[in-house]
Amino acid sequence: RQRQMCIRDRVNGHCVLAGNIKLISANGEAALTKELADAVGKHIQDGSTVIYIHIDGETAGYIALADTVRTESADMIASIKSIGVQPVLLTGDHQNAATAIGTLLGIDEIHANCLPEDKLNHIEAYQTTGTSVCMIGDGINDSPALSAADVGIAINSGAAIAREIADITIKADSLEELVQLKSIANAMQRRVASNYRFVLSFNSALIILGALGILQPATSAMLHNLSTIGISLKSMTCLLYTSPSPRDA
């Protein structure tokens, strides 16, 4: 499916229609000529979005729009993958444009021509498999998916309804802060698990040795307190000294 997008107005007494080919055809405007179709076909193959211009029912030209990808955006996707998060692109753009952008970004799973309900269905499909889903969006069309996701994140410069529905709104243009936050969360989970295993095993050993009469109560209490101090000092060190592991995501 293709999103219907059209602008119609009168300019200097002429009826001007700008939109995608589906809606132009639906409005009974002139058919796309072969020459024009061949010209725009190259742009579409390159991943551009084409806006057709019709004046008084005749084809007048087109505008080719292409997204550009910043180097830091591709680096950010690589960082997201490194912490065990699988990025998925859900977009209303046509397949060629989505594939072109997804390839440049390094995203393997791409879903194009998505209407708002399509994005919602994809989110729910992932959740039925037990996958935790974080949705990042900034448009009105993203609102249903932001609401359904386990964590919805909106961009501050996006639509007001997206910011209202999302669980989190970020002000930064880059998502690097989210990557760092996830890395810290992963490291915290590892540290809590490590401390728990140590405390459980160490205290169990003290109880057993005390019950067998090998350790005196005073010695056992001293060792317990020393272990508590050691754990506290370890927990005060930087969480990101060690790189995050994908299995902790």
Sheet architecture: strand order including 58-65? 6-11, 14-19, 49-55, 58-65
Question: Could you give the 3-state DSSP secondary structure of residue 206?
Answer: helix
Phi, psi of 127 (to 5 degrees): -65, -30
pLDDT 10s per residue in the chain (249 long)? 444 456 777 888 888 888 776 655 555 444 566 777 777 777 777 777 788 887 877 777 888 877 777 777 788 888 888 888 899 999 888 788 888 888 888 898 999 888 889 999 999 999 999 999 999 988 888 999 999 999 999 888 888 888 888 888 888 767 777 888 888 888 899 899 999 999 999 999 999 998 888 988 899 999 999 999 999 998 888 876 544 444 444
Residue owning tokens 């698990």:
193
Secondary-structure percent of the chain, ordered helix, strand, coil, rounded to 5: 50, 20, 30
Are 53 and 61 within 8 A, CB to CB? yes
Confidence (pTM): 0.63
